[in-house]
Structure 1
Amino acid sequence: MKLPSILFAGVAALTLSACATAQAMTETAPSSEQADALKAFPAATAGQARHVVNLPSRSDEDALKVELILGKTQTVDCNRQFFGGRLETRTAEGWGYDYYVLPALGNAASTLMACPPGSERQAFVTTQEQPLIRYNSRLPVVVYAPSDVEVRYRVWRAGETQTAR
C-alpha cells in the first residue's frame, strides 16, 4: 500500500538528523568572558549544579535544534529504563533569557520483561522528556539539575524543506 504523498512530504519535512552528541560542562571556574555571559543567570541552589553549554557559531543556526538529555549512569538489564522528572523553562529576571531547571529526578521506572542472566550492564538512563530547543550561539544554554544528574546534549539539523501536495 502506498502512503499518500502529502503524508510522505510532511514526514520528510519534519525529519531531523543527528549531528553530534556531547556532554554539558558542569560549571567550575568560568573565564571572564563566560562569567559575563552567566551573570544573567542565578547561582545554583543547594543540591543543584549549573551546567553550561556554549554552542559554536554556525551560519545555519535556524536549521539547528539542541536536544537536552538529562540522566545518570547506572546498572540496567534488558528492560527499557527511564526516570521521571519534568524540565522547566524559566526566564532570567530583568534579562529575558531562558534557562532550564530539573527540580528533582523522579523515580526510576522500567518495562518488566524477563531478562536472561548476565544481561546487566552500565548505561546512561535518561528522563523521558528530552526537549528540542532553539540553537543560539550568542547565549549559553544553562541547565540546573540535581548534583548527581549528568546533562548531555545533541545537535539536530533539519532536512530540506518539502512542499505538501
Structure 2
Amino acid sequence: MKPLVISAALTLSLSMLCSAANAAKLEDVAPYPKADAGFTRQVIRLPSQKNEEDYKVQIIAGKTLQVDCNQQRLTGKLQEKTLKGWGYPMYRLDKVNGPISTMMACPEGKPHPDFVPVVGDGFMLRYNSKLPIVLYVPKGIEVRYRIWSASKLIKQATTE
C-alpha cells in the first residue's frame, strides 16, 4: 500500500511542477531573482513535446540597429547559473560588445533598421518544457528563440 501512496504523491508533485512551469507568474514556479539594475529578466515557456531529447532551443539575443549591406554581429557569452536552493538553471548575458561588421563597400542605399544578433557561446540550450527558460540580459537587448529538432533519419558511420 505504501508504494501506491508514494507513487500518487510523486505523480501529484510532477503534475504541480508541470502546471507551475506554465503558470501566469514566474514566482509561482520558483523564487527567481528580479533583474539587477541595467538588466531585464526575460522568460520563455516551451510547449510540451513528445521525446523532448530530440529538441534544442536556440537563444537569439540582439537588438535592432541601423545597418547597411554589411553583415553585422554583436558578441557575448550566455552563461548558465543555478537558482540556489532549487537547482533550476537560469541564464545571464553579462556583456554585449560590438557591433562588428564586414567592411564591404556598399552601393548607394539608405541604412535601414534590422535585428543584429549576439553571437558567442552558450546560446543552444536543452529543451525542457517543465521549467521556463529565465534569462537576464542587458537593457535594450531583445530575446528571440528558435526550436531545433532532430531528423528522424539516422545514418551509419563507415569504418575506414
Q: TM-score, normalised by structure 2?
A: 0.78
- Following TM superposition, by how much is the alpha carbon of 1:129 offset from its aligned partner in structure 2, in angstroms? 2.1
Partner residue of 2:139? 147
Which of these residues, 74, 84, 89, is aligned with residue 83 of structure 1?
74
Partner residue of 2:91? 100
Partner residue of 2:46? 55
Question: Unmatched 5+ residue regions in structure 1?
Answer: 1-29
Which of these residues, 151, 157, 160, is aligned with residue 164 of structure 1?
157
d(CA) in 2 for partners of 1:159, 1:137: 20
Q: Which has the larger radius of gyration?
A: 2
* One-letter amino acid of the counterpart of residue 36, structure 1: D
Note if contact 1:78-1:119 (Cα within 8 Å) is conserved in structure 2. Answer: no
- Following TM superposition, by how much is the alpha carbon of 1:107 offset from its aligned partner in structure 2, in angstroms? 2.1
Partner residue of 2:115? 124
For 1:145, what is the secondary structure of its paired residue?
strand
Q: Does the alignment pair 1:112 with 2:103?
A: yes
d(CA) in 2 for partners of 1:155, 1:85: 21
- Following TM superposition, by how much is the alpha carbon of 1:38 offset from its aligned partner in structure 2, in angstroms? 4.1
Note if contact 1:64-1:157 (Cα within 8 Å) is conserved in structure 2. Answer: yes
Instruction: State the Cα deviation string for residues 45-77 of structure 1 (Å, max 9, x = none).
Output: 001000000001111211100000110001101
Note if contact 1:52-1:141 (Cα within 8 Å) is conserved in structure 2. Answer: yes
- Report the count of equivalent residues: 134
Partner residue of 1:43? 34
Q: 1:72 to 1:44 in 2, by over 3 A?
A: same
Paired-residue identity, % = 43
Higher relative contact order (CA 8 A, sep 6+): 1
The answer to which structure has the higher helix fraction is 2
Partner residue of 2:56? 65
d(CA) in 2 for partners of 1:79, 1:119: 12
d(CA) in 1 for partners of 2:30, 2:66: 35
Which of these residues, 65, 68, 90, is aligned with residue 74 of structure 1?
65
Which of these residues, 134, 137, 148, is aligned with residue 129 of structure 2?
137
* One-letter amino acid of the counterpart of residue 153, structure 1: Y
Moved over 3 A (4+): none
Instruction: State the Cα deviation string for residues 76-108 of structure 1 (Å, max 9, x = none).
Output: 011110112211111111111111101121121
Q: TM-score, normalised by structure 1?
A: 0.76
